[in-house]
Chains A and B, each alone.
Chain A
């Protein structure tokens, strides 16, 4: 089923809102399961989880730190007088992981829509075109900038510096050498980009026409309403359970 990007945005917004406001492990788990089901419905390929494994490890690390610094309940693990893991801390850590997973997985719902469609959806919601376009442009250029940083890093290594064998302080110093070429590359690219935009009559007039046009179908309206009702219901259940 082809859905309007605005419907998908409402779904993502609903799930993310629940992830932020709900502080109950069971309800968060339910929201996560729903996010997975919805994302699966849009035939999302889960390969991104493999690519994001470092980020997921970071999440686990953050959750662990959270559990150390906010101990409550029974002590599960500790070294002498220093408490490392408590039941309350562990629950908080798990909630952090669940919350982040809901946000990441729900965001994948948007993957099937092209950036142009998303921009159009936002414009039809009266978001200024410049803002919607700039956000989409920034997202498009993130991988290119990542590549630029990688190239600078490789260039440093090719000059005979073995990063892995350096101490942490020296390693930071090497990273600082990368900063200037990457920054100047970014500024140069931004300048080229803005020149190309102006040469193609960007912001020629206060208004602009649009080649693509989005129209909400009955299914869109139904799913949008269901998402909003579901979010409100979950929030009410959460408040009543507190």
Chain B
């Protein structure tokens, strides 16, 4: 089975003499798998997401060692636009992921950056909204959406880049039960479409859909056995 994302002996600290947030992690994620990484607040979950999505080392500095491969390509040798088409990241706060007041403009932003043709952009918007069952929101103002809907639009805007790997960094932290269920349903749908999903969570109720569960503790990854302690 192919492994679209792999980390080998991965370690990271934000400063030279600082504590290692990630300490010698080895990770392979299979194609079409939903992997959940759980951990307490401050355990380094977001840092791990940043390492796996190339945000570290491309955008954030620190002491990084080890390797991350996306489809067997060394992430350090890829630039952010290349990574963006392979790995889509949805962050915790939808407010800082939505840049435009209208849903359609928001969804067009990524493909426009990638110089996709107009007709293709329209098609991608349609596909993403149809997957999320939000076609009726296409011309809505983003400020009128609920927290859950905003998070779904943030996800849709990532989907228009057509990434094969999706990383969800505590995306359900700020939304209600209904919104959480909607996101879980979408994640299952994405798996059916062959996408590889890594969901990082601190709330154990959100990870029942995962095929594999790992816990991040003291910088290392272990098999999750029901407790974060």
- Residues on A lying within 8 angstroms of B by beta carbon are 114-116, 133, 137, 140, 144, 189, 192-205, 207-213
Contacts and interface: CB of A to CB of B under 8 A. Distances in A.
Contacts of A144: 95
B55 interface: yes
Interface string B152-172: 000001100100000000000
A116 B100 contact: yes
Contacts of A209: 111-112, 115-118, 121
A203 to B, nearest CB: 7
A116 B116 contact: no
Q: On chain B, which size bracket covers the interface?
A: 35 or more
Interface of B: 53, 55, 58-59, 80-81, 84-85, 88-89, 91, 93, 95-97, 99-102, 104-105, 108-118, 121-122, 125, 157-158, 161
A204 B80 CA distance: 8
B114 to A, nearest CB: 5
Contacts of A205: 81, 113-115
B120 to A, nearest CB: 9
15 contacts: A114-B102, A144-B95, A193-B96, A195-B91, A198-B55, A198-B80, A198-B84, A200-B110, A201-B113, A204-B84, A205-B81, A208-B113, A209-B111, A209-B115, A211-B105
A194 B59 contact: yes
Contacts of B96: 189, 192-193, 196
B118 A210 contact: yes
Contact of A211 (B58, B81, B93, B121): B121
A195 B59 contact: yes
Contacts of B95: 144
Q: Which of A115, A137, A195 has the most CB of B within 10 A?
A: A195
A115 B141 CA distance: 12
Contacts of B111: 209, 211
B101 A201 contact: no
A200 B158 contact: yes
A139 B59 CA distance: 25
